[in-house]
Amino acid sequence: MKRFTLMVLAAGLGFVAFYPALAAAGNNAPAVAPADKQVELDDGTKLSIEGSMVYVVAVDGTKTSLPDGDYTTKEGAAIVVKDGALVK
């Protein structure tokens, strides 16, 4: 399974996921949303990113859309969500 590199945009507009090979290509590399990625917020909330949609994963495994807002992952990456989708 390929690992994704999360890049925080310098302008603070959100985050974009790149395949490692594309991350080295510079700013002209196309943004590629992860197919299905598990992320944990700094408060311990577990998220599932499916395409551009972001879901909160409950203890029982049910998923609900993440409310609009600015979030920070345990790794320190910024996530901005609008209408349940990542803002790029």
Of 60 and 20, the structure prediction assigns the larger pLDDT to: 60
pLDDT by residue (tens digit) across 43-76?
999 999 999 999 999 999 999 999 999 999 999 9
Q: Answer yes or no: is pLDDT of 24 > 90.
A: no
pLDDT computed for residue 73 by the predictor: 94
Quote the tokens at residue 79.
Answer: 């996530």
Q: What is the rounded distance in angstroms from the CA atom of residue 37 to the CA atom of residue 54?
A: 9
> In the prediction, which pLDDT does 35 show?
57
Task: Answer with the residue of higher pLDDT: 42 or 7.
Answer: 42
Quick one: which of 60, 14, 63 has its CA closest to 36?
Answer: 63
pLDDT in the model for residue 36: 84
Q: What is the reported pTM?
A: 0.59
Alpha-helical runs (H) found in the chain = 20-23
